[in-house]
Amino acid sequence: MGCLPILGIGVIFALFFATSPVFAESIDTSEQTTLSKDLQTNPLAQDILKKIEQTKQWIAELEQRNYENIEKQNELDEKRKQALNRLNQDLADWEKLWEYYSPRNSFERFVDKIPDSQVQGVFWDQFEFKEQKVAAGRDALKEVISNGGSLRDAVQAYRTAAETKRIELIEVNSQFNVRHNLAYYNQQILFDREGKFVDSQITGEQLRKYYEDYRSNPAYLDANPNDVTSWEELRKTNINTECREGQIVIHRFHADDYVCITMSTAEMWIQRGMGEIVGDSQDLFQQEQSVTPLTTCDDGFVVIFHKNTEKYSCILEGTANEWIGQGIAEFHDSEEFIMKSIKQKDSFLKVEEINQQIREMGKELYGKKMVLNKTFDNKYDELLELSKIEEKNIIKYYYENTDMSKKELSGKILDIREEYDDGKKDILKEKVSDLRELEKEHEEKMVTLVQNYEFDLYIKIILNSGHIGYEAVLK
């Protein structure tokens, strides 16, 4: 009776070892467990043996299931891999299918229809500018998202960075047209932010530089090839001639000669394909050409800003990095340059507006002086007329009455004329006083105008070269 509890514990341990995943691996289910003869008739031993065999069968079944699951998992992974490969291929085929309709390819087909290569260049610059704006918007959106910002903030950041203002479009199109020889920079700056020409004395003079002599205007000579006089008029030089300051030597293809003309006119000859710069003038002309951060340099070259000369130029990228390290040059962002150009153009136009205001103030002063002079001229005339009437009356009185002698008549006339002279002096004093008052009023207005721009970053008002008036200039 005392052995039964021990056997019970043995059964529990036997079951534990049989069902435990740790010990199950060490059991060989291929061998049959047997008992010695003395235990074969023991019912309890038989029951334990039965349970051990049953446990082995369970372990075998579990191992078989685990193997089948692994096989199924491997098969599933392989199918997933194949499905992913097919998906990637489908996506690649889809992208290839729609590549024809991509923004760049669609735009390229549009540009290819334009026969003028210079115009094509302008369109591609516009496209790249748009791409820069889109890229800036995407970068701003990603930055907000990566910093934990909301979707609303990210979208707003994208809109702000990708936004292009109308004045920016006008400025970049101006630069693009200059770059591709479709416009002249010195003419472009004569237009305001709305693209309207600023008609003033100064802008008119600058514009006339291009057309100061119709005989040097290629458009005229191209349209009038038989105007021998005009063709011959400028033919007084050769390739080695040193022109006067402000002019360069150009070879005219049509006449096969060399003439001295201004830089501005040379631009027109080159753009119309009717001439080329020759001799030492080539370097001089290239130095005068406008390079900006929007300029596309040759491969290996970049645009940098020289601090000493305050000009842009294309130089080797390695040299540019050295200069920047030395602090003698710097890179300028294209968008920053555009905004700066807009500000400079605005300042230029503001100078024109101020000078126009100064001219209007001068005209106003002149008009008031004219009115004042006319007013006092009338006073002189009235005083003279009154003096003459008084003289006539005194003379009439002399002839109609005998109680006045000639001496008394002469004295009366002298008194009248002295009174007239005194009256003129009084009128003159009044006139001078009024003129001074006008001058003082005008000067006060000018002083106020000067003070308004005393702390302006771009504009100042100074006395002109003759010190006879004020003019606005760029600082």
Residue among 301, 299, 277 at smallest CA distance from 289:
277
Domain residue limits, the chain: 4-94, 104-164, 168-211, 212-331, 340-474
Judged by DSSP in three states, 5 sits in helix
Distance CA 290, CA 327 (A): 23
SS (H, E, C) 384-425: HHHHHHHHHHHHHHHHHCCCCCHHHHHHHHHHHHHHHHHHHH
Query: How many alpha carbons lie under 13 Å from residue 30 in its C-beta half-sphere?
Result: 2
CB-count burial class (<10 Å; 0-12, 13-18, 19+) for 461: buried
Here the tokens at position 288 are 């005068």
Give the H or E element holding residue 123. Answer: helix 117-146
Q: Is 0.75 topped by the overall pTM?
A: no
| Contact by Cβ (8 Å): 446, 361 | yes
Distance CA 104, CA 124 (A): 10
- What is the residue-level pLDDT of the chain in tens, covering all 475 positions? 344 333 444 444 444 444 444 434 444 444 444 555 555 666 776 777 777 777 777 777 777 777 777 877 787 778 778 877 877 887 777 777 777 778 888 888 888 888 877 788 888 888 888 888 888 899 999 999 999 989 899 999 999 888 888 778 877 887 788 777 777 666 676 676 666 766 666 566 666 555 556 566 676 667 777 766 666 666 556 656 667 666 777 777 777 777 777 777 777 777 667 777 776 555 544 444 567 777 777 778 888 888 877 777 777 888 888 888 888 888 888 777 777 777 777 777 778 788 888 888 888 888 898 899 899 999 989 999 998 999 888 888 888 877 888 888 888 889 988 998 999 999 999 999 999 999 899 888 888 888 888 888 778 888 776 556 788 887 7
φ, ψ for residue 293, nearest 5 deg: -60, -15
